[in-house]
Every structure is written in C-alpha cells, then in structure tokens.
Amino acid sequence: MVESGMKRLVVVSNRLPAALKHEDGRWTVKQGAGGLVTAMAPVLRNRGGVWIGWSGAAEPDVDVEGLLSDFSAEAGYELCTVPLTRQEVDDYYYGFSNEIIWPLFHDLQSRCRFHPRYWRAYLDVNFKFAEVVARRTTSDDYLWIQDYHLMHQAFFLKSMGVKRNTGFFLHIPFPTPDIFMKLPWRWKVIQALTEYDLLGFQTMQDRRNFVRCLRRLMPETRVEGRGAAVTVRLGNRSFRLGAFPISIDYNQFSELAGREDVARKAFELKEALRHRKIILGVDRLDYTKGIPERIRSIQTLLKRYPDLKGRVNFVQIAVPSREEVGEYKDLRQEIEQLVGRVNGEFSIPGWVPVHYHYRNLPVDELVAYYAAADIALVTPLRDGMNLVAKEYCACNNSEDGVLVLSEFAGAAAQLQRNAYLVNPYDMDGIAKALHRALHWDRDERHSSMSKLRDQVRRNNIFWWVDSFLQAGIAKTLGDFPEVETVRFERA
C-alpha cells in the first residue's frame, strides 16, 4: 500500500522505461528507448517516485512485476504495470494512437485510418490506466501524464470521483484547426484535455494551435495572462496552459563524450572513414523523420558538387521501430533501396558515400558518433521537439560541429539563431546548406556551436521539469528530494 502523506512525483505513460522482450524462449528486461525515457529517467531517479505504464508484454502468464523488480531497485523509483491484451495493443496503440493521432498531429492526415473500433479501444485502455492510477496513488501525489496515448486520464479520474493534481504534456506537435477538425472525435478529445489542471506543449506555436481549436469548438473560451503559461477559463472552471520545450541531461551527454573510452571510439570512427568529413543522421525509423528525403538530399549534394566525392561520408543510424507494422516495413525497404541506389551511383574504389546502420546503439557508441560527426543533419518532416539535435550539441565538446536542422522540428524555435535551418522537402536547399556548412571556417563553427551548447546547457531537462512543476503546482524538482533508500511494496 502507498503511505498516506508521501508527496511523490508520478509519471504515467504508455510504456515503462523498461520493456519486456521474449528472446531465446525466455522473457528479458531491456532498457527502454526514445526521447521520453531519456528525458524522464534522470528526473525520477532516487526520488521515491513512481512510473506507471505498460510493460510491452501482452502475455497473461508472465510475472511482469517480478521481472521488473531488479530494474526498479537499480533505477531508484517504483515501476507499476498496466496489463494490456494483444487486442488492446492492436486497437489502442497500433490503431488509434499510431494510425490516427500520430499521423494527424504530424500534418500527415492522408495516412490516417479513422476506424471506430480504434476509438472504443482507446477509451477502454485509458479507463484501465485510470483505474491503476487511482489505486496506486494518493491525493498527495502529483500525476504527470505523458503524451497522446493517454489524453483521457484526467477525464476518467474525475468521472470516478478520484481527486488528483494532474498535468499533461504532449510530446508531439498539436495541429492547426483545419487539420484537427478532421478527427471524428475532435470535441471529445478537446473536452478530455480541458479536464487537466495543466496542459503543456513543446512550443508556443503548438499552444496557439490548441487555443485556436478550443475556441472553434468552445466559443466561450477566454485566455488570461502572458508568458509561457496562461490561464484558460471555460464558464465556471479554469485550467493552466503552457509551452515547455523538453530537453536533455546536458551534463550527462557532455561528460560521456569526454570520457576516454568514448573519445577513443570517436577517433576510431574517424579513422575508419579515413578522416573524411562526417555528416550524421540519427532517427527512430518513422515516416515523420524524413530519412528518404535526407538520402535524396545527399544524392543531390554529390551531383551538384562532384568535388566532394571521396571527401565526405553520410552516416545514417536508423533505430528499429514498430517493426510489426507493414507501413514501417515498407519504409525500411524504401530506405535500403535508396541507399543502394546512391552508393551504386557514386561509389569509387576505397569510398562508399552512404553508411546505413539499422540497429539500436548503446549510448556510449551513439555519443561517439555524435562526437565524431562534423555535421548533424536533423531534418524531420514534422517533430514535436527532436532531442537528437540537442544531444549532438551537448556531445560536441570540441565546439567544431554544425547543426543543420529542419524548420519543422520543435527544436528550431529554440535553436534557430545558431543552427542552419532548412526545409526538409527542399533537396536542393539542403544540399546547398551542407556545402556551405562544410566550408564554414573554424571561427564561425566555434561561435555557432558554443551558443547552441549554451542554450541546451541552460535549458536542460531539469529546467524543463522545474518550469512545468512551477506552472502546475508552484513547486520545483527540489521539492521532491533524492532519498538514500526507496522502499517499494507491491499492492
């Protein structure tokens, strides 16, 4: 049971930071991947908090909590699982979340499949999550709900008569009204979001888009205040609304990049490529990341500037994602065919222009790639934030790198002054930007990267958490102090 009076930070997300994988006939625990885990794990560590989510297993006979107990003890916070069936995963996660909300909110509505069954499953799973949240938390806890999978948590908690302080953060973009209004369940989604005490978005543009949608569906909406967080009034009730750009643990990445073994790996990467200029792309395999467009941009670069042949390498790391989904299998095949085509067109003895790696990398190896790269090419078609851009800057201790960044990434709002902004659909524009970046002199590169690193250092993950908590409950992370030991008890 949870002790009364404990003031804890409780994170609720679709997935736990540890995932169960069935390998070689047995279940194993793997560290979760993705921006949310990178961002939230340092925040909860050793603070006696709780992370509630699905484990990744849909088998009823698996001892999930037993398998996760060691990870929980090492992480320094409690993991609480929400069991889901295979059908629920198919309809709520792969269906509503990733065949409707994900493409719609990324301005790719032509990819949406508005199936009513998906909507019913989404509500059922959200209610199941809310039941676990209600059972495993107290009124003293602060509930921080993460992302588009769980937009109905506050709505269902209130419908059950459960009083909790609730904040919600949307990690992906929020669309403009003309796109959002295509959602058949638009009013119910907006209504559910207004039940939170605080709604957080990545950028001011996302916040403005939400307000415009809210006013379209609820004309009585009044917005009061100025700055990052404002108050929204709907009749006799109100809630807070803010823009809080998520970030990373800057010191963790910078220190890792400076570690001797990582620096040696970075040197070995450069040496393996014969100290040619390295252009790096790092993405989860997803159609929003613009990987095919990026490879075509490299093709354009080599066509326009033949003097670069043999002098530059493009390295694309694609992290496997949603491998069961046909659309993602097709995307992988498209990328591999493009890589083969470009390499076939431009390779010469001793030089292959594109190096493509489809796999998960250990964090120290990823950081070595960041440290080795002369240019980070971060060109999503649309992105809520994109932490790769910030990770690259944090790892560039030599301050000699260049960030080429999509203007449609949320990170552009913060980093636009010192990154090289490009349109990810403009192959010629990206090729020109890369050519210029490759010829920037040392002082220009140093000045830009120094300012980028300072921006990421000041506005790090702990600043993000403090900004959100301050707006939500007038507290900071310091009000959830680290503890020497954490006692976890099963309910």
Whether residue 390 is predicted with pLDDT greater than 50 in this model: the reply is: yes
pLDDT at position 482: 75
What CA–CA distance (Å, rounded) separates 396 from 257? 8
What CA–CA distance (Å, rounded) separates 21 from 33? 13
Q: Say if residue 309 is in the same domain as residue 413.
A: yes
Q: What percent of the chain has pLDDT over 90?
A: 81
Q: Is residue 84 part of a domain?
A: yes
Q: Is residue 240 part of a domain?
A: yes
Annotation says 152 is catalytic: no
Q: Say if residue 342 is in the same domain as residue 471.
A: no
Whether residue 168 is predicted with pLDDT greater than 50 in this model: the reply is: yes
Q: Is residue 484 part of a domain?
A: no
Q: Which of 36-45, 79-88, 120-129, 301-310 has the lowest mean pLDDT?
A: 36-45
Annotation says 364 is catalytic: no
The 3-state DSSP class for residue 198 equals strand
**Residues for the chain: how many in total?**
491
Q: Is residue 4 part of a domain?
A: no
Beta-strand pair 198-201/237-243 = parallel
CB distance 245 to 415 below 8 Å:
no
Provide the residue type at 161 as one letter: G
pLDDT at position 324: 78
Q: Say if residue 162 is in the same domain as residue 187.
A: yes
**Two structure tokens written together for 169:** 């953060």
pLDDT at position 489: 42
Provide the residue type at 244 as one letter: F
Whether residue 366 is predicted with pLDDT greater than 80 in this model: the reply is: yes
pLDDT at position 308: 97
- Residue ranges making up the domain that contains 335: 250-457
pLDDT band at 132 (very low <50, low <70, confident <90, very high): very high
Q: What is the pLDDT of residues 38-48, one digit of tens each?
A: 667 767 877 77
Q: Say if residue 102 is in the same domain as residue 228.
A: yes
Q: What is the pLDDT of residues 265-300, one digit of tens each?
A: 999 999 999 999 999 999 999 999 999 999 999 999
Sheet architecture: strand order including 375-378:
354-358, 312-319, 277-284, 375-378, 402-406, 420-422
Per-position b or e across 124-143, b if 16+ CB within 10 A of its CB: ebbbbbbebbbebbbeebbb
Average pLDDT, the chain: 92
Q: Is residue 487 part of a domain?
A: no
pLDDT band at 27 (very low <50, low <70, confident <90, very high): confident
pLDDT band at 487 (very low <50, low <70, confident <90, very high): very low
- pTM (predicted TM-score): 0.93
Over residues 209-232, mean pLDDT: 96
Over residues 347-366, mean pLDDT: 96
pLDDT at position 60: 62
Whether residue 197 is predicted with pLDDT greater than 80 in this model: the reply is: yes
Identify which of 263, 240, 290 has the alpha carbon closest to the alpha carbon of residue 471. Answer: 240
Which residue has tokens 């496997």? 320
Number of domains within the chain: 2
Whether residue 155 is predicted with pLDDT greater than 80 in this model: the reply is: yes
Q: Say if residue 278 is in the same domain as residue 223.
A: no
Provide the residue type at 287 as one letter: Y
pLDDT band at 393 (very low <50, low <70, confident <90, very high): very high
CB distance 434 to 279 below 8 Å:
yes
Over residues 195-224, mean pLDDT: 98
Q: Say if residue 317 is in the same domain as residue 222.
A: no
Which residues, in sequence order, are CB contacts of 478 under 8 Å at separation 6+?
Answer: none
Q: Is residue 363 part of a domain?
A: yes
116 by Cβ neighbours in 10 Å (0-12 / 13-18 / 19+) ranks as exposed
Over residues 349-373, mean pLDDT: 97
The stretches of 76-113 forming alpha helices (DSSP H) are 86-88, 102-105
Q: Say if residue 212 is in the same domain as residue 270.
A: no
Q: What percent of the chain has pLDDT over 70?
A: 94
φ/ψ (deg, to 5) at 232: -110, 130
Q: What is the pLDDT of residues 419-448, one digit of tens each?
A: 999 999 999 999 999 999 999 999 999 999
Q: Say if residue 226 is in the same domain as residue 291.
A: no
Whether residue 5 is predicted with pLDDT greater than 70 in this model: the reply is: no
Whether residue 22 is predicted with pLDDT greater than 90 in this model: the reply is: no
Over residues 325-331, mean pLDDT: 89
Q: Say if residue 152 is in the same domain as residue 240.
A: yes
Q: Is residue 157 part of a domain?
A: yes
pLDDT band at 2 (very low <50, low <70, confident <90, very high): very low
Q: Say if residue 65 is in the same domain as residue 212.
A: yes
pLDDT at position 484: 57
> Which tops the pLDDT comparison, 477 or 151?
151
Q: Is residue 1 part of a domain?
A: no
Q: What is the CATH number of the domain that holds 471?
A: 3.40.50.2000
Q: Say if residue 235 is in the same domain as residue 255.
A: no
Q: Say if residue 20 is in the same domain as residue 94.
A: yes
Of 141, 149, 171, 206, the active-site residue reads 171
Of 91, 283, 374, 383, the active-site residue reads 383
Whether residue 4 is predicted with pLDDT greater than 70 in this model: the reply is: no
